Structure 1
Amino acid sequence: MKKYTVLFLILGCILFAEDKKDPFEFSAPEDWRPERIFFPLSFAPDIKYKGFEELRFAPGMFKPETEDYFCYVFFFWIEEKISIDKKEVHKILLAYYKGLCKAVADKRKLKLNFDTIKVSVKDDEKSKGKFYVVVDWYDPFVTGEKLSLHMDINFFYSKDETKSILFACVSPKFPTKENKTWATMYDIRDSFKLKSVEKLEKSSTPGKN
């Protein structure tokens, strides 16, 4: 696990536990490793947001032989109201995964064809802000082999519409609630909520929990 942590640190990522002063809260199993990366992302500078990306990695994230290999959740906490559609989701994720793949592959001296990396996006006609995505790329961290990732994405705003949140659940397996890991990721996503003003004031007061 250490070598993967080092790789993330090389890319400019910083490991955090959830800050009590964060304006949101959510719960994830203790063995899902936390990480936070502030924008601009070193590997995808074209994603020009203010805020950060929060991630939780399944225990088997870097273990191809496990059921939860390359399963994780992440969300972008964006410090402004932005507009999102299929085209924008495609643009963001292509920049993200192509940049990440290239950065890690360069560090590991892997020769990969980055032009084969593709992103397919479908929106849910019944649910605004809902997208289903397939990312065809490589696993640059472990195998160096091609890997397809399924993503279930929800996009929404804070109540005052001054913040934007893009929340994604990710797995090589097709999303279904019957799959144990997908069920866990959906539980993490569904636990996400914005804190009330009272909770924020309490958490920012010294001596208060």
Structure 2
Amino acid sequence: MPSNTKTTLIIIALCLCSISALSQEETRPDLMVTDGWGKELFIFPIRFASKIPYTGFEEARFPKGWGIESSPEFWSYAFAWKIDVKAPLTETDLEVNLQRYFDGLLGLDFKEDGQKTNAVFVSSNASKPWVGYKGKIKTLDTRFTKKPMILNVLVDQHYCKKEKQYIIIFKFSPKEFGTPVWLKMNDIKLSPEACNH
């Protein structure tokens, strides 16, 4: 077979694979209900945090001001993991895997000065029907300010009986709990369709 023909066939095959992958992502259910926020999807293993040992996908949601330092929404965003695990994540699971997540996201894996992410979580709602946690993540904002940053975090875990998967919703902001941005964050809910696919 002539090399030009072989090259053309390879390109067509790659395009078909890309189209198939895109269509699979587009058919994934929305995990969170948000109004006017941007959206990104990631498949586990996540390319920048491949040490996180789960199978599933992440849906990330961003308000308009999340990347603007002067905005009250700066670094405030949410993501949800729909993953194959047999039990809710523990404090240790959350701490270890969010440290991996932010170290990879912010490129701290490659810094030689030892600066790494530190995460701490405590249970926040033992009396509710889902497992929730409250926490803090101390890291370095390598994207915008180049300064140390502390993110306050709320975590809710929901079990999908039909699919035997957990959906974990993470909400982040450097603003203290109870400030106006958290009113928006608290409006983010689990989508009714999230556990029906």
Q: State TM-score, norm by structure 1.
A: 0.72
Q: State TM-score, norm by structure 2.
A: 0.76
Q: Which runs of 5 or more residues in structure 2 are unaligned?
A: 1-20
Aligned equivalent of 1:174: 176
CA distance, structure 2, for counterparts of residue 130 and residue 50 of structure 1: 21
CA distance, structure 2, for counterparts of residue 118 and residue 67 of structure 1: 24
Aligned equivalent of 1:65: 70
Cα distance change on mapping 1:149 and 1:45 into 2, 3 Å: same
Offset of residue 115 of structure 1: 3.5
Aligned equivalent of 1:94: 99
Structure 2 counterparts to residues 1-209 of structure 1, below 5 A = 19=26, 21-24=27-30, 26-30=32-36, 32-102=37-107, 113-124=113-124, 125-127=126-128, 129-160=131-162, 162-176=164-178, 179-188=179-188, 190-194=189-193
Percent same amino acid among aligned pairs?
24
Cα distance change on mapping 1:135 and 1:15 into 2, 3 Å: farther
Aligned equivalent of 2:3: none
What secondary structure is seen at the aligned counterpart in 2 of 1:89? helix
Q: Contact 1:138 / 1:146 at 8 angstroms: preserved in 2?
A: yes
CA distance, structure 1, for counterparts of residue 114 and residue 76 of structure 2: 22
Cα distance change on mapping 1:59 and 1:84 into 2, 3 Å: same
The alignment of Structure 1 onto Structure 2 pairs a total of residues equal to: 174
> Which of the two has higher C-alpha Rg?
2
Cα distance change on mapping 1:44 and 1:195 into 2, 3 Å: closer
CA distance, structure 2, for counterparts of residue 73 and residue 138 of structure 1: 18
Offset of residue 196 of structure 1: 7.6
Q: Which amino acid aligns with 2:168?
A: L
Q: Contact 1:133 / 1:151 at 8 angstroms: preserved in 2?
A: yes
RMSD: 2.8
Aligned equivalent of 1:5: none
Q: Contact 1:158 / 1:194 at 8 angstroms: preserved in 2?
A: no
Q: Which runs of 5 or more residues in structure 1 are unaligned?
A: 1-13, 201-209
Offset of residue 141 of structure 1: 1.1
